[in-house]
Amino acid sequence: MKIIYLDQSEYKKLHSKTYALEKRRLQIELLKLQEDIIKNQRKICIVFEGRDTAGKSSAIKFFSEYLRPKNFNYIQLGIPTKWESSHWFQRWEKVLPKKGQITFLDRSWYTRAVTEPVMNYCTEQQYRKFMNTVNKWEQNHIKSGLELTKFYFSLSKEQQTRRIHARKNSSLKYWKLSKHDEKIVTKWDAFTLYKDQMFEKTGTEIAPWIVINSNNKMIGRLTSLRYLLNKTNYENKKILKPVKWTQSLNNYSASIEGVMFENLSYDQFLIISKYSDDI
């Protein structure tokens, strides 16, 4: 099992000016990454999972704000048809990125690992088949050139309650709270059980789960984008020096003669990068 926890909960507040400056420099780098994806016909798929109100949709909007529209896709599939429910992976293969594209998935094939069993939307047999098959399915796509990142946006029960209440009483966001949402938030413990099983069985070396603390949505967005940029190679990449709130993040990587060194601090990275063959 491989899970990477990026928890910046010690930073209770982030000044709006600091947020804007960090957002700009990260988005500039993401645009460079997109240019490289287009040029080299790469396929990038970024999964955003998490409980309701965790900030998945707003994070995707943050990521994609200045990207070339023709070369990224935002996918949020609705209720599956009967055929789709029984042909689960075929449903998702239709929306995987083509060459030269980034695809952002606002929930993914992992709804079968958590939401569907919690809400009895799938059978026990369907759930077990998914859990026994998904790692191999991902591995096959990765071997075929798919670059997959799996984010899980985590928040506390208290924070979710506050956000649900705010959404329910908002004149602009009330429509985001569905009957399904109101029901599933009452199943916190069951959701946690299936989530933990998902982490244990599907957090692999080739496709680990990246758990983002999203109690502060601004920090969650910046942390997730910074992680993606640090771990992904692209032309004209600028290694961003940590700002105060990221100094404890050990998510730099470099390789020396084919040996990958991961989860490095910035200081460790500076030393190793002198001898790296991919910087």
Residue 241 covered by a domain: no
Query: Is a pLDDT exceeding 70 seen at residue 78?
Result: yes
Please, which pLDDT band fits residue 10 given cuts at 50, 70 and 90? very low
Quick one: 184 and 278 in the same domain?
A: no
Q: Which two tokens stand for residue 166?
A: 């705010």
Domain encompassing residue 147: 3-236
Query: Is a pLDDT exceeding 70 seen at residue 255?
Result: no
Residue 267 covered by a domain: yes
pLDDT tens for each residue of 117-170: 999 999 999 999 999 999 999 999 999 999 999 999 999 988 888 888 777 777
What's the mean pLDDT when you consider all of the chain?
Answer: 87
Find the CATH number of the domain harbouring 175.
3.40.50.300
Query: Is a pLDDT exceeding 60 seen at residue 11?
Result: no
Quick one: 64 and 167 in the same domain?
A: yes
Quick one: 210 and 267 in the same domain?
A: no
Find the radius of gyration of the CA atoms of the chain.
19
Q: Kindly tell me the burial class for residue 35, based on how many C-beta atoms sit within 10 Å of its own C-beta (0-12, 13-18, 19 or more).
A: middle
| C-alpha to C-alpha distance for 50 and 3, rounded to whole angstroms | 14
Residues 272, 223, 266, CA angle at the centre, nearest 5°? 20
Please, which pLDDT band fits residue 216 given cuts at 50, 70 and 90? confident
Residue 242 covered by a domain: no
| Number of domains making up the chain | 2
Whether the Cβ atoms of residue 146 and residue 43 lie closer than 8 Å to each other: yes
72 vs 264, higher pLDDT: 72
